[in-house]
Structure 1
Amino acid sequence: MEGSHSGDESGLDEEVYREAFRSTETPALIADPEFVIRDVNHGGLEFLGYELDELVGRPMTIISGDDDISDEMLDCLRRGEKWRGEFAVETQNGRNVYGTGSASPIVFDGETKGIITIFVDTTKQRQYENTSEVLSRLLRHDLRNELNIMYGHIQRAQSTTDSADADESLERARDKIVEIVHKTERARDLRNLLEKSYSASNRPVRLDIVLNNKIVEVMHEFDEAEYDFEVFPEVAVVADDLLPAAIEAVLENAVTHNDQPTPRVEVSVEVTDSAAIVSVADNGPGVPEAQRELIFGREEFDQLHHGTGISLFFADSVLSSYSGDIWVEDNDPRGAVFNIRLERP
């Protein structure tokens, strides 16, 4: 940390900067230009299991859990470039911990005075992702098989009954099984889309093109509904590749949760200096005010209050990643209006 002149500019002395570094919980260390460790913060010492004097004066490679990655990082730093990527750290007890790391040259007056590296442990995240994938696969496979068996039994029962009431009940049960299968498939698709969002970067996306494409698709899939929309303004919004799926989820919701013989969906766009607001209005049952947070999964469900499925939760999650918003209001004279606010670049 020596040679820091930022302290003079801010009114803080060198000791304050040193203490700020050491108090940071994220594991971090400082090395000299020869990659010899000169300081390790409290988070790093606790994470690695070392005392400070056991690391100071030792090469950075002492904590490397993967020589190839370590060599790549050091080569990058020798060129005066920043490095970021997957990294493995070996703790004092010899255990390898995997995560993400970054390293940057510390440059004063055009000369590299040292190196600072930061490590984020993603072990629990990896374990969660692996477990989630296994459970998801088992549920998809086992649940689908069980539902197929139930479906077969219902069909056999329908073929042997002479009771109109029993046949009607069995038909409802069969429709419900099909609905459950569709929900599991929808959950899988949305989960895969959310996983892709981790590496997606927000960028300008033409909202009018997304809306036109998705409305055509929904009109084709749900041709029993009526759709009302005009030419949308040509406007770009801050989004990524998941925006079409989020828009589709809201459009589908307007039809699938509509109790009218002919569902009607009206789509409009309002553009301001800073944002574009998409409104999707329907003639369905509306959403009671007490449930307007529940349907987006923002509050816990209970036996009396429940959401409308995962689609709106998905849309809310995606829009939040754009610093956007979604909310619902009453439609006049009947139904709901879902408003989507997206920032302009």
Structure 2
Amino acid sequence: MTDGIEHRVLDDLYDALQDTVYIFDDDRVLIDANARVGDVSGRPREEFIGRPFEDLQERYVALEDHERLAAAFDRIESQDSESERLDITLKGEDGPVPVDARFVRYEGKTVMVVRNLTEQKAREQRLTELSEELDVLNRVLRHDIRNDMSVVLGWAEELEPHVDPEGREAFENIVDAVEHTVELTREVRDLVEAITRGEEFPTRPTQLDHVLGDQLAKNRKKFGHVTFTVNGDVPAVTVSGNEMLSSVLDNLLSNAVIHHDDDHPTVTVHVELDDDAAIVSVADDGPGIPDSRKTHVFGRGERGIDSPGTGIGLFLVDSLVTGYGGTVAIEDNEPRGSVFVVTLPLAEAERAEDAGA
């Protein structure tokens, strides 16, 4: 009785598979198949059972794939190969259907498992189109931003002789911010072009303490009502990053202020080294983030109620840190607030130096 129950369970599982399974005997005749057989052609399973492999291939496989498919079947049947895998095209009711075909030998039978790739191919096509659209948008935005910033710098040169001593610091802050924006457009260009070409995420050794110090100074100027503190010393190390690391740290510091519910927020930064990584913690004493939202806030377009941001800041943080080979997570602060914890791999030169110490 038990064997019968187990057999029915296996049969149900066999039919519930999303892949199509074909089993051929040594005469190359289809002797069994699961319920997915016929999904592409629209024919019932009974019409397939008992047919030889060559007949099924002739009827349902694109002509250009016949030779490759037959060769793979032969290698498995003769046990010249333990497994075979290839992409082929089936002739479906509504046109060609791309599939992934895998062959194995099992208990004297040749088993072919076929997975429909229609949805996957459609997603890949959409991603390709989206990549091209983003590349165009990136080029347009960078062009417009650079042009506008060039105009601002031009006017700044005209204005500089007329700036009185009391306004000198503010004026220089404006010029620094504009020049930094121009530099970021160049870095974004390199980043996007590398990604759209299918290259690895571009990184280079980046001095963490310098970038963090610059961003703290920038945010202290931007948010005069906020107390930014550094807990302990910031190690003078280089991490895997690039020019966009400044955007990562700027977004974390700004985010701690923008989503605060008090007139005088406190933001505390702490950096420590752990094995081959630098861990940067940015803690605030704001309202905190519920557990149910801790993973969602990094999604594209996520933002809090009444947030003045564009909704891409934390998505950018997550994407860049992941590209650097690091991680970002959110923890609860005590007695209230949130802590954003970013782990950044040390640059290769830094690791080599530590290993030799």
1:118 aligns with 2:117: no
Instruction: Report the CA distance shift for 1:310/1:95 in structure 2 as closer, same or farther (over 3 A).
Output: same
Residue identity matched to 1:115: V
Gaps of 5+ in 2: 215-229, 258-267, 344-357
Q: How does 1:54-133 map to 2 (within 5 A)?
A: 54-56=47-49, 57-59=51-53, 60-62=56-58, 63-65=60-62, 66-78=65-77, 79-85=80-86, 87-93=87-93, 95-107=95-107, 112-121=108-117, 122-133=120-131
For structure 1, the 5+ residue unaligned runs are 1-6, 198-212, 232-242, 271-275, 341-345
Displacement after TM superposition at 1:48 (Å): 3.5
Q: Which stretch shifts more, 179-188 or 20-29? A: 179-188
Match of 1:267 in 2: 272
* Alignment match, 1:240: none
Compute the displacement of 1:256 (Å): 6.5
Residue 35 of structure 2 corresponds to residue 42 of structure 1 = yes
Aligned: 1:327 with 2:330: yes
Task: Please state whether the residue corresponding to 2:313 is helix, strand or coil.
Answer: coil
Tell me how far apart the structure 2 counterparts of residues 277 and 222 of structure 1 sit (CA, whole Å).
Answer: 16
> Quick one: structure 1 residues 318 and 222, their matched pair in 2 at CA, closer, same or farther if it must change by over 3 Å?
closer
Of 137, 140, 162, the match for 2:138:
140
Q: For residue 315 of structure 2, what is the aligned residue in structure 1? A: 310
User: 2:151 pairs with 153, 157, 162, which one?
Assistant: 153
| Kept in 2: contact 1:266–1:281 (CA 8 A) | yes
Over 3 Å counting, the alpha-carbon distance change for 1:250 and 1:295 in structure 2 is: farther
1:188 alignment partner AA: V
Asked if 1:23 corresponds to 2:20, the answer is no
In 1, the alpha carbon distance for the partners of 2:190 and 2:154 equals: 28
Distance 1:254 1:331 in 2: 22
- Count of matched residue positions in the alignment of Structure 1 and Structure 2: 291
Q: 1:25 to 1:219 in 2, by over 3 A?
A: closer
* CA distance in structure 1 between the aligned counterparts of 2:236 and 2:150, rounded to whole angstroms: 46
Counterpart of 2:315, as a letter, is: I
Name the aligned partner's letter for residue 329 of structure 2. I
Structure 1 range deviating more: 291-300 or 144-153: 291-300
Q: 1:171 to 1:137 in 2, by over 3 A?
A: same
Corresponding residue of 1:188: 192
Offset at residue 338 of structure 1 (A): 1.0
In the superposition, the TM-score normalised over structure 2's length comes to 0.58
For the structure 1 residues 167 and 44, does the alpha-carbon distance in structure 2 shift closer, same or farther, using more than 3 Å as the test? farther
Question: Take 1:339 and 1:168, find their aligned partners in 2: how far apart are those partners?
Answer: 31
Structure 1 residues 313 and 264: CA distance shift in structure 2, 3 A: closer
Partner SS state of residue 280, structure 2 = strand
Overall identity of the aligned pairs, in %: 11
Partner Cα distance (1:130, 1:151) in 2: 31
1:181 is aligned with what amino acid? T
Match of 1:51 among 30, 39, 44: 44
Distance 1:31 1:132, change over 3 A: farther
Name the structure 1 match of 2:206: 217
CA deviation string 1:275-304 (max 9, x = no partner)? x9974235x757751375455338832562
For 1:191 and 1:68, locate their aligned partners in 2 and report how far apart those are by CA, in whole Å.
36
CA contact (8 A) 1:49 1:93 kept: yes
**Alpha-carbon distance, 1:269 to partner:** 3.1
Counterpart amino acid of residue 146 in structure 2: N
Does 119-128 or 76-85 show the bigger shift? 76-85
Number of the residue aligned with 2:351: none
| Alignment deviations for residues 72-126 of structure 1 (CA, whole Å, 9 cap, x no partner) | 53244232511234x122123473322433222222xxxx223131314122222
Residues in 2 aligned to 1:220 and 1:230: alpha-carbon distance in whole angstroms: 6
Alignment partners' CA distance in 2, 1:333 and 1:54 = 67
Tell me which amino acid in the other structure corresponds to 2:13: A
How many angstroms apart in 2 are the aligned matches of 1:169 and 1:279?
A: 29
Give the structure with higher Rg (CA). 2
* Residue in 1 that maps onto 2:281: 281
Letter in 2 for 1:297: G
